[in-house]
């Protein structure tokens, strides 16, 4: 490879010398030279981790959360925002609050925490590897940051007397590393089994409904916050077609919860939102033919 690159560089240099003599640009000649490593970042990573726009969206969500929970805490709701165990998504029923203490349930990754150290590697094209992710859970606490607005949100909720509960699909085997990452991000203390619930706490794997039911049996959950539909209900996971899943999210009982008990932050980098081809994403009756192309 090295000799090939050297050959390419020499060829380019020779062509450049030739072009300098003729005064033309050597664009085509250099296109054949293997590209040098770049510092480029794919757009979805730019948006989530680097842009003012992405940060502003997160802040707006957390501001709305604080306002909503402040209002709810003052009047004590009768219903939790966790679906009742036997409920469907359409015509939903909700877990009762009773006189349980108030709580807000947060997902962790890309909801409260930006996994900057891990995602910087993914942004270079490194394929996801479960064993590497597990090592990240154990040792990544120095390379995370809170999502914009997250520290403000959990601080305000705690001042209101609302318990902050974390429900994450990080592994229960790595609980100590996740407790350290939450603390390092400035999000305070998390206690496994009390205010931190993890994959492996039960036999349901990545499904969170079992953990949500336990949390709702102990708390009146006034809000949930996540970056995936699975952070709100496992019922979404049963619906595979992209258009049907979107319909369930925006034309069911869930529709009334967005921004009013269910708060979602966008994640364009990974997760269940990133599915669908042209036929699934764009309706057939909403295609457009450019008149300029039709004239050809």
| Residues engaged in binding Mg ion (CB under 5 A) | 107, 109-111, 227
CB of 270 to Mg ion, least distance (A): 9
Pairing between strand 113-114 and 145-146?
A: antiparallel
- Identify whether the C-beta of residue 148 lies closer than 8 Å to the C-beta of residue 58: yes
Quick one: 169 or 252, whose CB is closer to Mg ion?
169
Pairing between strand 262-264 and 220-226?
A: parallel
CB of 66 to Mg ion, least distance (A): 20
CB of 155 to Mg ion, least distance (A): 21
Which are the contacts of 265, defined by CB distance < 8 A and separation ≥ 6? 57, 58, 61, 110, 111, 147, 225, 226, 227
* H or E stretch covering 228: none
Quick one: 209 or 227, whose CB is closer to Mg ion?
227
Residue 133 main-chain phi, psi, to 5 deg: -60, -40
Residue nearest to Mg ion (CB): 109
Q: What is the DSSP letter of 78?
A: S
* H or E stretch covering 145: strand 145-146
**Computed over its alpha carbons, how large is the radius of gyration of the chain?**
24
CB of 58 to Mg ion, least distance (A): 13
CB of 228 to Mg ion, least distance (A): 6
CB of 295 to Mg ion, least distance (A): 48
CA dist 121 and 105 (Å) reads: 29
CA dist 188 and 288 (Å) reads: 51
CA distances for 285 relative to 165, 277, 289, angstroms: 44, 16, 11
CA dist 110 and 73 (Å) reads: 26
CB of 108 to Mg ion, least distance (A): 6
């Amino acid at each position: 490879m090295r000799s090939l690159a050297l050959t390419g560089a020499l060829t380019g240099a020779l062509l450049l010398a030739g072009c300098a003599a003729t005064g033309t640009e050597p664009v085509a000649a250099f296109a054949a030279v293997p590209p040098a490593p770049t510092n480029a970042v794919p757009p979805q990573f730019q948006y989530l981790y680097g842009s003012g726009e992405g940060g502003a969206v997160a802040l707006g969500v957390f501001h709305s959360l604080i306002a909503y929970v402040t209002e709810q805490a003052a009047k004590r709701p009768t219903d939790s925002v966790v679906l009742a165990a036997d409920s469907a998504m359409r015509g939903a029923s909700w877990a009762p609050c009773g006189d349980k203490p108030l709580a807000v349930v947060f997902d962790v990754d890309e909801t409260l925490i930006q996994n900057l150290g891990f995602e910087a590697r993914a942004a270079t094209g490194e394929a996801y590897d479960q064993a590497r992710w597990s090592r990240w859970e154990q040792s990544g606490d120095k390379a995370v940051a809170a999502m914009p607005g997250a520290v403000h949100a959990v601080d305000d909720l705690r001042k209101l007397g609302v318990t902050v509960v974390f429900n994450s699909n990080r592994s229960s085997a790595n609980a100590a590393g996740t407790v350290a990452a939450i603390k390092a991000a400035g999000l305070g203390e998390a206690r496994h089994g009390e205010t931190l619930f993890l994959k492996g706490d039960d036999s349901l794997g990545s499904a969170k409904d079992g953990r949500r039911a336990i949390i709702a049996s102990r708390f009146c959950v006034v809000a949930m916050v996540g970056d995936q539909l699975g952070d709100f209900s496992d019922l979404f996971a049963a619906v595979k077609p992209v258009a049907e899943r979107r319909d369930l999210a925006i034309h069911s009982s869930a529709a009334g919860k967005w921004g009013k008990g269910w708060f979602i932050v966008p994640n364009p980098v990974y997760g269940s939102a990133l599915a669908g081809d042209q036929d699934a994403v764009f309706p057939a009756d909403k295609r457009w033919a450019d008149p300029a192309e039709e004239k050809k």
